[in-house]
């Protein structure tokens, strides 16, 4: 039986194991981070999106930019990367890339417990397996994907020390959930992060890219995202080197929040 708010170990095949914790959607993210062993601020990157409606060629190009761009950058920086954690779509691409590289950077999958299964937990409902390439999992309460979005936002902030270290997002493909997440995380006064959009990966990433290059749109949420000034574009045809350069520039430009004088 999984006890809520207590860290446990998921034993995957092949001597793979990951730390995990089951929490409510409103559980304090700083407490979750400490429970998983993160006591000091770390650079943090959240990934939003998917891999739906991609051709085999698109999948190959996306895998290349993830493996040689995003994952290598995270390893060099020892940044924490957050994604959905399932063995499907981006969760598979990220987890498998980390294993291929033999990466040591933390890869945290955040998903609703009710929508996943893993060794030691058989879900009676239709669900997805967790990807064993992840080092940690945060399993929230919730009936559907998207219920974990707030926890991803708060964990990104908490792990980065509430802005003391760089924190940003990467959008790849994506649908309605990603659209809502991107809007919240680029326009919020409380939790706002720069966003790198991988143009050419389809669906929402390309919709946002088109609006960005046009400079305006009749859709209020897209206009608010563009007006935030927090969006940067990298074309999938630019390749992994350009993605690493863009991520490095954002990390270098990061300025910690000012500390009030006492």
**pLDDT at res. 257:** 85
β-pair type (8-11, 17-23): antiparallel
Can you give the chain as a three-state secondary structure string?
CCCCCCCEEEECCCCCEEEEEEECCCCCHHHHHHHCCCCCCCCEEEEEECCCCCCHHHHHHHHHHHHHHHHHHHHHHCCEEEECCECCHHHHHHHHHHHHHCCCCCEEEEEEHHHEEECCECCCCCCEEECCCCCEEEEECCCCCCCCHHHHHHHHHHHCCCCCCCEEEEEECCCHHHHHHHHHHHHCCCCCCCEEEEECCCHHHHHHHHHHHHCCCCCHHHHHHHHCCCEEEEEHHHCHHHHHHHHHHHHHHCCCCCCCCC
pLDDT of residue 3: 86
pTM: 0.96
Report the distance separating Cα 193 and Cα 93, nearest Å: 23
Sign, CA torsion 110/176/59/202:
negative
CA 116/CA 110 separation, integer angstroms = 11
Q: Are 250 and 166 in contact (CB under 8 A)?
A: yes
What is the chain's length? 262
d(CA 125, CA 115): 7
Closest by Cα among 129, 155, 105, 137 to 20: 137
Pick out the chain residues at pLDDT < 70. 1, 259-262
- Domains contained in the chain, CATH given: 8-253 (3.40.50.450)
């Amino acid at each position: 039986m999984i006890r809520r708010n207590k860290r446990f170990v998921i034993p995957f095949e092949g001597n793979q194991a990951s730390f995990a914790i089951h929490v409510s959607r409103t559980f304090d993210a700083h407490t979750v981070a400490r429970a998983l062993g993160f006591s000091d601020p770390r650079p943090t990157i959240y990934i939003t999106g998917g891999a739906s409606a991609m051709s085999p060629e698109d999948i190959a190009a996306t895998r290349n930019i993830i493996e040689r761009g995003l994952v290598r950058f995270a390893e060099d920086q020892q940044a924490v990367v957050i994604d959905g954690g399932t063995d499907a779509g981006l969760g598979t691409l990220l987890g498998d890339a980390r294993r291929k590289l033999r990466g040591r950077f933390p890869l945290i999958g955040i998903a609703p417990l009710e929508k996943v299964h893993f060794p030691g937990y058989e879900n009676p409902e239709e669900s997805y397996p967790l990807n064993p390439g992840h080092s940690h999992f945060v399993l929230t309460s919730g009936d559907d994907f998207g219920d974990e979005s707030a926890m991803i936002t708060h964990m990104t902030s908490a792990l980065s020390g509430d802005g003391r270290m760089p924190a940003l997002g990467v959008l790849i493909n994506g649908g309605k959930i990603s659209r809502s997440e991107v809007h919240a995380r680029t326009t919020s006064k409380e939790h706002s992060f720069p966003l790198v959009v991988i143009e050419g990966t389809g669906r929402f990433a390309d919709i946002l890219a088109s609006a960005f290059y046009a400079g305006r749109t009749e859709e209020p949420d897209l206009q608010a995202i563009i007006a935030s000034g927090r969006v940067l574009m990298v074309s999938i045809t630019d390749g992994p080197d350009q993605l690493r350069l863009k991520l490095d520039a954002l990390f270098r430009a990061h300025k910690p929040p000012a500390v009030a004088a006492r």
